Amino acid sequence: MSIKKVLVINGPNINLLGHREPQIYGSLSLSEIEKALRQEAEKLKIEIEFFQSNSEGDIVSKIQSLFGAENTGLIINPAAYTHTSAAIRDAIAAVGVKTIEVHISNIYAREEFRHKSFIAPLCIGQISGLGADGYIFALKKLAVL
């Protein structure tokens, strides 16, 4: 069974892309990244949905909405919650969908507190430091699973 639907979740401050620290996160806005992903999903014949929240609880609830979903994958950029959220980690574990963690910046070349991910051990992979292209790579990988 291959992945037919992908949910892309972005965490806190990702809504400020294009304005927030462009030297770290680049100049693309979240809507521009979503547009590129929508175009790629169309080519891959995958249904795609986007969700962004600055609230940990909203992200947990959205992940839980995947419970029982078949042929569904998750791309998540938990942003700062990567390093702090047992709740998001536990939600991903509970729903059991194939998940790829994405970070625009290289979290391992930044402050030491960013080197630990609560999420990565539950994922089939992590993409870090490849800019917005990381989302495209994650989508392409999910498409062949």
25 an active-site residue? Answer: yes
Where do we find the tokens 């930044």? Answer: 110
3-state secondary structure of 76: strand
User: Which tokens hold the place of 119?
Assistant: 């999420």
First to last CA, the chain: 8
Is-contact 98 104, C-beta < 8 A? Answer: no
User: Which tokens hold the place of 89?
Assistant: 């980690």
Helix (H) or strand (E) holding 5: strand 5-10
Amino acid at site 68:
G
Choose, from 83, 103, 115, 135, the residue flagged as catalytic: 103
Choose, from 25, 83, 108, 115, the residue flagged as catalytic: 25
Is-contact 14 79, C-beta < 8 A? Answer: yes
How far apart, in whole angstroms, are the C-alpha atoms of residue 83 and residue 67? Answer: 24
Question: Looking at the annotation, which residues are catalytic?
Answer: 25, 103
